[in-house]
């Protein structure tokens, strides 16, 4: 059991199946008699819908139906689950978003009709034949531009395109702190837009049973329970009339969490036609119909006293919502900046003022970190700039302002209370692991080769997702297996092994007999889904609580079998024992007796099964420090990340192997955003980077070996002491890589450069600096 308990580096149990090609993704699912759907999408970024002529499409071979927004008018709208008041107390603007619009199109790719045919090719061909009569309107794609007088207006009832005018903090107090500051650092900061690019494109298969009035939706998502409730709300039916089934999911990063228009369209079509309807996106559709990530423009300001102590930090700017509000759209540029920019530092005051703007672009919502990497990136750039301006060593400035262990629990300016962490010791370890002392020699060696070498520090602290109830079901199966039932959902994280390790540790159930059920909404009584680095502390805690309930049941049943009072039964290492004796029965043996028809007195539990919904666990605070080194060719502007190390505090590591893999993945995504991923629109709102011919993604050759070390300080707010790790790589990666690039360019007097630091952007910065100097 020790081999598979908590703390052991156990490989993902699903990997052998997946590498053999035996995974079952949404597009692998087929139902008898299914038809196929294709969406008709707007080629205009903004315009009034005057008419939709589907007569030619309906006459084409194999076409079964063409549905428009008029046909779906009886359904509810897609919802944004997050809302904040405006700074004046009024509610934010949440324009209704039907699955298919009938008034206007608001971005290139906006779906306006669905064609259903016998085959996918027939549906796509017919979709091309649908004629859209749209009066084009001027478009705006950048948030700051959408806020300017005279900018195109997306909604008649949203003046100035402002969905939300957000304020956190006390502006007068912050202003007073800036007024008395000995030094103020100010930077214009852009957190660039990225396309999610999950390995598996979105897909869905809808069916309707007319006899029961029940819908079934096969779909890749981040939680079957939440998806079921959201779909039922839009369809206007009770929750029990919807079943969501999820197989393997090839990546999501926040994008697949919510309901998309295509799902509503095919659910309607399935009911209207009386047969299943399937839709699968191609990669171009993914670029223009999946939501995008990031896209913020801020002015960051840091106030310091003469000794370099932080007095206040202020962020003022814009968050791009795209054309519609995504599921958690306002969160990333508002509250999550507040929570995460505070980081490991004891900054007394913070102010975040954000205008969340509608633009004629693909909607923006959660992308790995959902505001957490953004907040940390903004703060780390300000600290590096302040250190340079004040002539203080950048490491010393960070340590001077870090929260000390003796100050825990610490009430941050973000309103959060940090329960645990040793930020100074972790930082020292990161400097040692990265061999910061040896950097000067490495820089000199690079200079001899004609390269500019820079070192960047990226400290971070993340506030994980808000509390949710989570399911921890345990079921002893007829074949001797034990099934964990959870409302979170694995889309690459490796839940099966990690959750099994917790159960093995708590109940002594053999690791190889444990299965995971997560993708059938009919089996769930609760579930917050996977997101916000919360799965292990939420599901893990629920499994711990459910295990305790199994033990209580088991003591009663074991007492009967062993002929002892339940109060005399002890449980340890998978065995129920009469206290003070060697008389015992293993939990698996007890389960076998129950399956065999063990007769029990009235009042005793009839099984060991438990269906439990754990109470919400508070947010946790994973933290760490990443150090990146880059080399730049000044003649071409090409940036290469050549050295990378990290030290992280994730509390208790249930599975160190999987945790390290999570960090690696996040770092690679951070590197991609920092140096190559560009999402570009032209003046008419056309996406210029709508394929892999135009949009660069990091490859193995772009990434060095990623060093990983752990400095765990267990959390005090959940029974496992875990803190979450899924988004940390991005949080450390953005700050460390961009700080390293600026450090490499510092001989030219370059103080800042925005993401992505593409060769052209870096080369131009060098040329401009030379010309100015």
733-768 pLDDT tens trace: 999 999 999 999 999 999 999 999 999 999 999 999
Supply 163's token pair: 């969905």
Comparing CA positions, the residue from 350, 348, 396, 358 lying closest to residue 375 is 350
Host H or E run for residue 208 = strand 203-209
Report the interhelical angle of 759-772 vs 728-745 (nearest 10°): 30
Identify the pLDDT of residue 399: 98
Per the rule left: phi > 0, alpha: psi between -120 and 50, beta: everything else, 213 is left
Largest pairwise CA distance in the chain:
91
Distances in whole angstroms, Cα of residue 655 to Cα of each of 374, 647, 673? 27, 16, 28
Per the rule left: phi > 0, alpha: psi between -120 and 50, beta: everything else, 169 is left
Q: What are phi and psi of 115, to 5 degrees?
A: -105, 130
Which residues have C-beta within 8 Å of that of residue 179, sequence separation ≥ 6? none
Supply 651's token pair: 């509390």
In sign, the C-alpha dihedral spanning 678, 458, 293, 340 is negative
Do residues 127 and 62 make contact, with C-beta atoms less than 8 angstroms apart? no
Q: Which residues pair with 354 in a beta bridge?
A: 166, 317
Identify the pLDDT of residue 1: 46
Stretches where the chain sits below pLDDT 70 are: 1-2
Comparing CA positions, the residue from 155, 122, 102 lying closest to residue 35 is 122
Which residues have C-beta within 8 Å of that of residue 771, sequence separation ≥ 6? none
3-class SS string, 373-424: HHHHHHHHHHHHHHHHHHCCCHHHHHHHHECCHHHCCEECCCCCEECCCCHH
Comparing CA positions, the residue from 220, 533, 225, 224 lying closest to residue 370 is 533
Parallel, antiparallel or unpaired: strands 277-280 and 310-322: unpaired
Identify the pLDDT of residue 2: 62
415-434 pLDDT tens trace: 999 999 999 999 999 999 99
Is the previous residue joined to 370 through a cis bond, with omega within 30 degrees of 0?
no
Q: What are phi and psi of 51, to 5 degrees?
A: -175, 160
Q: CA-CA distance, 296 to 377, in Å (whole number)?
A: 12
Do residues 202 and 288 make contact, with C-beta atoms less than 8 angstroms apart? no
Q: CA-CA distance, 770 to 773, in Å (whole number)?
A: 5
Q: Which residues pair with 53 in a beta bridge?
A: 131
Exposure class string for 59-73: b at 16+ Cβ within 10 A, else e: ebeebbbbbbbebbe
Do residues 744 and 738 make contact, with C-beta atoms less than 8 angstroms apart? no
Exposure class string for 283-298: b at 16+ Cβ within 10 A, else e: eebbbbbbbbbbbbbb
Q: CA-CA distance, 280 to 205, in Å (whole number)?
A: 9
Alpha helices, H only, 215-305: 224-235, 261-273, 283-289
Comparing CA positions, the residue from 360, 365, 363 lying closest to residue 141 is 360
Task: Classify burial at 697, counting beta carbons within 10 Å of its beta carbon; exposed 0-12, middle 13-18, buried 19 or more.
Answer: middle
Q: Write the DSSP symbol of residue 14.
A: T
Which residues have C-beta within 8 Å of that of residue 736, sequence separation ≥ 6? 380, 456, 457, 458, 626, 627, 628, 644
Task: Classify burial at 2, counting beta carbons within 10 Å of its beta carbon; exposed 0-12, middle 13-18, buried 19 or more.
Answer: exposed
CA atoms within 13 A of residue 751's CA, in its CB half-sphere: 12
Distances in whole angstroms, Cα of residue 188 to Cα of each of 42, 141, 207, 381, 727? 34, 19, 50, 10, 25
């Amino acid at each position: 059991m020790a081999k598979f308990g908590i703390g052991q580096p156990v490989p993902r149990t699903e990997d052998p199946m997946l590498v053999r090609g035996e995974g079952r993704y949404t597009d692998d699912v087929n139902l008898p008699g299914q038809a196929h759907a294709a969406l008709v999408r707007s080629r205009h970024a903004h315009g009034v819908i005057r008419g939709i002529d589907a007569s030619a499409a309906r006459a084409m071979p194999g076409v079964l139906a063409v549905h428009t927004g008029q046909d779906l008018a009886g359904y509810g709208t897609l919802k944004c689950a997050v809302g904040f008041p405006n700074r004046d107390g009024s509610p934010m603007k949440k324009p209704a978003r039907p699955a298919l619009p009938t008034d206007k199109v608001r971005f290139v790719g906006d779906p306006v009709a669905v064609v259903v045919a016998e085959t996918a090719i027939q549906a796509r061909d017919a979709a091309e034949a649908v004629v859209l009569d749209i009066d084009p309107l001027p478009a705006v794609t950048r948030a700051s531009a959408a806020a300017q007088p005279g900018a195109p207006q997306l909604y008649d009832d949203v003046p100035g395109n402002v969905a939300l005018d957000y304020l956190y903090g006390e502006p007068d107090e912050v202003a007073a702190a800036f007024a008395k500051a000995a030094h103020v650092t100010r930077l214009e900061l852009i957190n660039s837009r990225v396309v999610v690019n999950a390995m598996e494109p979105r897909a869905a298969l809808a069916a309707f049973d007319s006899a029961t009035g029940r819908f079934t939706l096969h779909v890749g998502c981040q939680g079957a329970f939440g998806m079921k409730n959201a779909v039922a709300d839009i369809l206007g039916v009770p929750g029990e009339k919807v079943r969501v089934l999820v197989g393997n999911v090839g990546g999501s990063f926040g994008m697949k969490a919510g309901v998309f228009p295509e799902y509503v369209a095919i659910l309607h079509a399935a009911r209207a036609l009386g047969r299943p309807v399937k839709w699968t996106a191609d990669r171009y559709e993914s670029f223009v119909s999946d939501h995008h990530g990031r896209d913020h423009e801020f002015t960051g300001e840091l106030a310091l006293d003469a000794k370099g102590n932080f007095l206040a930090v202020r962020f003022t700017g814009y968050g791009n919502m795209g054309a519609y509000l995504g599921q958690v759209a306002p969160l990333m540029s508002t509250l999550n900046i507040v929570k995460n920019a505070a980081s490991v530092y004891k900054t007394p005051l913070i102010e975040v003022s954000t205008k969340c703007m509608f633009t004629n672009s693909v909607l923006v919502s959660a992308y790995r970190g959902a505001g957490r990497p953004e907040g940390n990136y903004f703060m780390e750039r300000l600290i590096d700039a302040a250190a340079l301006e004040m002539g203080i060593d950048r490491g010393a400035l960070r340590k001077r302002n870090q929260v000390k262990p003796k100050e825990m629990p610490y009430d941050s300016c973000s309103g959060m209370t940090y329960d645990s962490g040793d930020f100074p010791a972790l930082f020292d370890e990161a400097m040692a692991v990265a061999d910061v002392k040896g950097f000067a020699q490495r820089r000199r060696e690079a200079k001899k080769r004609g390269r500019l070498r820079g070192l960047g520090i990226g400290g971070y602290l993340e506030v994980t997702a808000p509390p949710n109830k989570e399911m921890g079901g345990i079921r002893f199966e007829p074949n001797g297996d034990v099934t964990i039932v959870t409302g979170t959902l694995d889309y690459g994280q490796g839940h099966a092994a990690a959750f099994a390790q917790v159960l093995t540790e708590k109940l002594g159930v053999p690791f190889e007999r444990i299965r995971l059920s997560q993708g059938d909404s009919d089996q769930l009584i609760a579930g917050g889904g996977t997101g916000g680095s919360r799965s292990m502390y939420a599901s893990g805690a629920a499994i711990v609580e459910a295990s305790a309930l199994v033990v209580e049941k088991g003591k009663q049943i074991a007492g009967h079998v062993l002929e002892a009072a339940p109060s005399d039964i002890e449980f340890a290492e998978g065995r129920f024992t009469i206290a003070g004796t060697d008389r015992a029965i293993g939990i698996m043996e007890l389960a076998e007796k129950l399956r065999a028809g063990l007769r029990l007195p009235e009042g005793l539990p009839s099984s060991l099964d438990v269906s439990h919904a754990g109470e919400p666990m508070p947010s946790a605070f994973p933290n760490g420090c990443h150090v990146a080194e880059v080399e730049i060719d000044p003649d071409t502007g090409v940036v290469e990340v050549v050295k990378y190390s990290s030290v992280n505090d994730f509390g208790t590591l249930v599975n160190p192997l999987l945790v390290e893999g999570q960090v690696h993945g996040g770092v690679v995504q951070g590197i991609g955003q920092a140096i190559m991923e560009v999402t570009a629109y032209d003046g008419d709102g056309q996406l210029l980077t709508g394929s892999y011919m135009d949009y660069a993604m990091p490859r193995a050759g772009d990434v060095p070996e990623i060093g990983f070390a752990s400095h765990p300080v267990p959390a005090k707010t959940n029974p496992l002491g875990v803190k979450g790790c899924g988004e940390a790589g991005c949080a450390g990666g953005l700050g460390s890589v961009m700080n390293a690039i600026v450090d490499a360019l510092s001989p030219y007097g370059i103080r800042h450069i925005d993401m992505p630091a593409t060769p052209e952007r870096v080369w131009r910065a060098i040329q401009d600096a030379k010309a100015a100097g």
